[in-house]
Structure 1
Amino acid sequence: MAIVERVFSGVQPTGNLHLGNYLGAIVNFVRLQETHNCIYCVVDLHAITQPVSVWGGPTELARNTREVTAAFIAAGIDPNKHIVFNQSQVTGHAELTWIFNCVARIGWLNRMTQFKEKAGKDRENASVGLYDYPVLMAADILLYRATHVPVGEDQKQHLELARDIAQKFNNDFADSIRSHGFADGLLFPPPEPLITGPATRVMSLRDGTKKMSKSDSSDNSRINLTDDADTIAQKIRKAKTDPEPLPSEEKGLEPRPEADNLVGIYAALSGRSKAEVLREFGGGQFSNFKNALVELCVTKLSPIASEMKRLMADPGHVDAILIDGADRASVIAHETMQAAKDIVGFIRKP
C-alpha cells in the first residue's frame, strides 16, 4: 500500500457556525483543495462526547451535520473532486479507535489539556468518550493514512498524540508490518502539521479578549454564517470599540483588543495584512472603518449565507453528498483496516 500525500481535517457539528469557524478553518480548507488531495469530515462521533444538552439530541445533531456540510459547499469546497462525509458512516473510525486504545498509554491521555478544559472541575462526571476523544482523532487521521493535517494552536497536542500512536503501533508490530509487504516498516505514516500561514483568530465583537463562540449568550458577539446583510451590518456597527482613532501602525493595536480584532477581520476577509489595512484606515474614526467593514463582510459572507440556506432547504441533496463521500472514504478506510487487522493477527473474512 503506497503512501499517498493526503490532507485530512474535521469540523464538529455543534451548530451556529460563525465567522471564526470560517476564517479559522474553512477558508484554509478551500485553499488546500487547489494543491492537495483532501478529505473533509463532519465529525459527528466527536460531537456526542459532550452531554446531550450541549449537542442538542438527535434532531439537532442531524441538522447541524447538514449545516456544516452546507457551509463547506457554500464556501467553495468541491465534493466531486474531494471527499466530504460524516464520520459515523465509516465504521473504520470506531474500529481503529479500539485498536489504538490498546496502543495509547494512560499517561499520554492524562497530559491532554483540552480534556481538562472541557471537563472542568467535575471530571468524574465527564464521559469516557470525552477523555478518549484524542484517540478517536488519531484514528480519524490515520485511517486514511493522511500525511498532513491543518491544525490550530488548540489541536497541536492532539496531532502529537496521533504521531506517538502511529510510531508506537509501527514499533509494536514492526515484524508483522514488514511481513505483510511494508518494507519501510510503516503502516501508519506519522502525520505532519500543515502550516497555512498565520491563523486568523477571531474574537468576540463584545469582548476582544475572548474568542468568538457559539456558546456566548449574546448573539451580537458573533457573526453567524447564516446572518443576512442587515444583521451583519447591525452587529458590526454595535461592535465594541474605544474612543481613539485607528492607529497607523500595528504596534498601536497591542493595547486595544477590540480594534485589533476588527482590523484582523478586515485583513483576513480582504486578503491583506493588518499593516496594509492600517495604511488605508489609520488615523480615521471607527465609524468610517466600520462602514467599510460592513460592506466587505456583506460582500464576502452574504453569498455563502444564501447558498447555505438553499442547500439546507434540500436535505436530501446534502445527504446524497455525504453518502457519496462516505462511500469513497470507505474504500480507503477498508484498505487500511484490512491491513491493520492482518498485522495485529485478527482472523477475518477474506
Structure 2
Amino acid sequence: MASFHQRVFSGMQPTSTLHLGNYLGALTNWVAMQETHECIYCVVDMHAITMWQDPADLKRAIREVTAAYVAAGIDTKKSIIFNQSQVSGHAELAWITNCVVRLGWMNRMTQFKEKAGKDKENASLGLYAYPSLMAADILLYKATHVPVGEDQKQHLELTRDTAQKFNNDFAAQIAGLELGTGDLGFFPLPEPMTQGPAPRVMSLRDGTKKMSKSDASDNSRINLTDDAETIATKIRKAKTDPDALPSEEKGLEGRAEAENLVGIYAGLNGQTKTQVLAEFGGSQFSGFKAALVDLAVAKLSPIAGEMRRLLDDVSHIDAILGRGAERAEAIAAPIMRDVKDIVGFVRRG
C-alpha cells in the first residue's frame, strides 16, 4: 500500500528568549527525534508578527532562537533549520489554505480568544488566521508528524481537517494529474508526535502558572541565555513550602512548587519523579535545591555558553539559516508547483 514519506515539522516563535520550559518541553525531544526521523525545524518569524514586533528585536530574536536550536544539540547536517520567511511557499500556500479553511473552524480556535482578549476587534487578521498559516507550514513539506504541546493540539486538528478537505475538494484533479498517493490523497493527515512524558515546567515564583516568556518577573524562569550564577540564584530563590520532600509522588499533591522543582530535576536528569523522590524523599528543600543547582548548571550553562559563542558571529548564524532555507525550498518548491496545478493556476513552466 502506498504511503507518504515520513517527515517531522516543528517550529518556535522568535518573540523573546527561550527558557527551561522550551528546552525540556520541546528541544530535548527535537534533538532525540533527529536520530530516528527526517526533521525540519523552523524559526516561525511570520507567526511572530501577528502581534507587532520591533524589527531590530525580531532580527535579534530570530538569530537567538537559531543559536538555541544548535546549542541544544540540533545537528544542521542531520536536520534542516531555517526561518520561515525565507521560503515563499509558506505565504503562498497560506493563501490557499485560507480559501480551504471554513470560517466556522476558525471561530472555534480558543487561542485567538485568549491572545486577543477583550480587545479582539483591534487584533490583527494575522492573529486570527494564525492556525491556517500553521497548517500551510506543515502541509508545505507534506509532514507526517508534528510534535505539539497541549496548546497546539487544536491547531493540528485544523491542519488535518484542511488536508482532508483539500484532498476531497480536488480529488478529481489530484487523480487526473496523478499527483496523489493512492486513496490517501495529495496531502497527508499529520499525526501528533508521541514524545513521552515531557515535564510541564511551571513558574519558579508560582507553581500554578506555566513558565512563560511573557512573565514580568525574570526570576520566574530560567532563560537558556542565563549564566551559571544566574541559574543558581534563581533556583535558590524559587518558591517552596516548609515541609520536607515526600518519598512518594502522591505526597506532591497540593504542593505545586514542590512538584515543579521535582519535575525539573527529573526532566534535566532523565528520570521520573518517583525516582527523584526515592533519592531525596525526607530531604529539606535547602539540600534538594543545592543538588538541583548543580544539575541545572551542569546541563544548562554549556548551552548558554555555546549560544553566546554562536551569537558572536552573526554571519555564521545567517549562513545556517540560508543553507537551511535552500534545503527547505528544495522540498517545498515541487510540492507548491503541484498544488498550483491542482487548484488550476497557470504558472511558468
Question: TM-score, normalized by length of structure 2?
Answer: 0.98
Q: Spell out structure 1 runs of 4+ moving beyond 6 A.
A: none
Asked if the contact 1:152–1:199 (Cα under 8 Å) also holds between the matched residues in 2, the reply is no
2:127 equivalent in structure 1: 130
Q: Give the deviation of 1:2 after TM superposition.
A: 7.2
1:114 equivalent in structure 2: 111
SS of alignment partner, residue 215 of structure 2: coil
1:140 equivalent in structure 2: 137
Asked if the contact 1:203–1:210 (Cα under 8 Å) also holds between the matched residues in 2, the reply is yes
Q: Does 1:100 align with 2:82?
A: no
2:348 equivalent in structure 1: 349
Q: Give the deviation of 1:199 after TM superposition.
A: 2.4
CA deviation vs aligned residue, 1:163-208 (integer Å, no higher than 9, x gap): 0000000000000001111251511011011111012210000000
Asked if the contact 2:204–2:238 (Cα under 8 Å) also holds between the matched residues in 1, the reply is yes
Aligned pair count reads: 346
2:176 equivalent in structure 1: 179
1:89-238 aligned at under 5 Å gives the runs: 89-181=86-178, 182=180, 184-185=182-183, 186-238=185-237
In structure 1, how many angstroms separate the alpha carbons of the residues matched to 2:259 and 2:181? 52
1:298-309 aligned at under 5 Å gives the runs: 298-309=297-308
SS of alignment partner, residue 141 of structure 1: helix
Instruction: Mark the runs of 5 or more structure 2 residues left unpaired by the alignment.
Output: none
1:87 equivalent in structure 2: 84
Whichever residue aligns with residue 70 of structure 2, its letter is I
In structure 2, how many angstroms separate the alpha carbons of the residues matched to 1:332 and 1:157? 26
CA deviation vs aligned residue, 1:40-66 (integer Å, no higher than 9, x gap): 00000000001x2xx3x1111010000
SS of alignment partner, residue 100 of structure 2: coil
CA deviation vs aligned residue, 1:279-330 (integer Å, no higher than 9, x gap): 0000110000000000000000011000000001111000000000000100
Instruction: Mark the runs of 5 or more structure 1 residues left unpaired by the alignment.
Output: none
In structure 1, how many angstroms separate the alpha carbons of the residues matched to 2:3 and 2:165? 20
Q: Give the deviation of 1:81 after TM superposition.
A: 1.6
Whichever residue aligns with residue 142 of structure 1, its letter is L
Asked if the contact 1:83–1:328 (Cα under 8 Å) also holds between the matched residues in 2, the reply is yes
In structure 2, how many angstroms separate the alpha carbons of the residues matched to 1:35 and 1:120? 40
In structure 1, how many angstroms separate the alpha carbons of the residues matched to 2:176 and 2:312? 52
1:259-338 aligned at under 5 Å gives the runs: 259-338=258-337
In structure 2, how many angstroms separate the alpha carbons of the residues matched to 1:252 and 1:338? 58
SS of alignment partner, residue 196 of structure 1: coil
In structure 2, how many angstroms separate the alpha carbons of the residues matched to 1:4 and 1:161? 21
Whichever residue aligns with residue 189 of structure 1, its letter is P
Q: Does 1:34 align with 2:35?
A: yes
In structure 1, how many angstroms separate the alpha carbons of the residues matched to 2:199 and 2:127? 27
Whichever residue aligns with residue 211 of structure 1, its letter is K
In structure 2, how many angstroms separate the alpha carbons of the residues matched to 1:292 and 1:204? 19
Whichever residue aligns with residue 20 of structure 1, its letter is G
When the two chains are superposed, the root-mean-square deviation of aligned CA atoms in Å is 1.0
CA deviation vs aligned residue, 1:318-343 (integer Å, no higher than 9, x gap): 00000000001001110111000000
Asked if the contact 2:198–2:267 (Cα under 8 Å) also holds between the matched residues in 1, the reply is no
In structure 2, how many angstroms separate the alpha carbons of the residues matched to 1:131 and 1:151? 19
Whichever residue aligns with residue 7 of structure 1, its letter is V
Asked if the contact 1:138–1:165 (Cα under 8 Å) also holds between the matched residues in 2, the reply is yes
In structure 2, how many angstroms separate the alpha carbons of the residues matched to 1:345 and 1:246? 65
SS of alignment partner, residue 118 of structure 2: coil
SS of alignment partner, residue 120 of structure 1: helix
Q: Give the deviation of 1:221 after TM superposition.
A: 0.6
In structure 2, how many angstroms separate the alpha carbons of the residues matched to 1:131 and 1:184? 34
Q: Give the deviation of 1:4 after TM superposition.
A: 1.2
In structure 1, how many angstroms separate the alpha carbons of the residues matched to 2:346 and 2:182? 24
- Determine what percentage of the aligned residue pairs are the same residue: 71
SS of alignment partner, residue 122 of structure 1: helix
In structure 2, how many angstroms separate the alpha carbons of the residues matched to 1:257 and 1:123? 33
Q: Give the deviation of 1:158 after TM superposition.
A: 0.2
Whichever residue aligns with residue 119 of structure 1, its letter is A
Whichever residue aligns with residue 307 of structure 1, its letter is E
SS of alignment partner, residue 155 of structure 2: helix
Asked if the contact 2:19–2:213 (Cα under 8 Å) also holds between the matched residues in 1, the reply is yes
In structure 2, how many angstroms separate the alpha carbons of the residues matched to 1:25 and 1:196? 9
2:20 equivalent in structure 1: 19
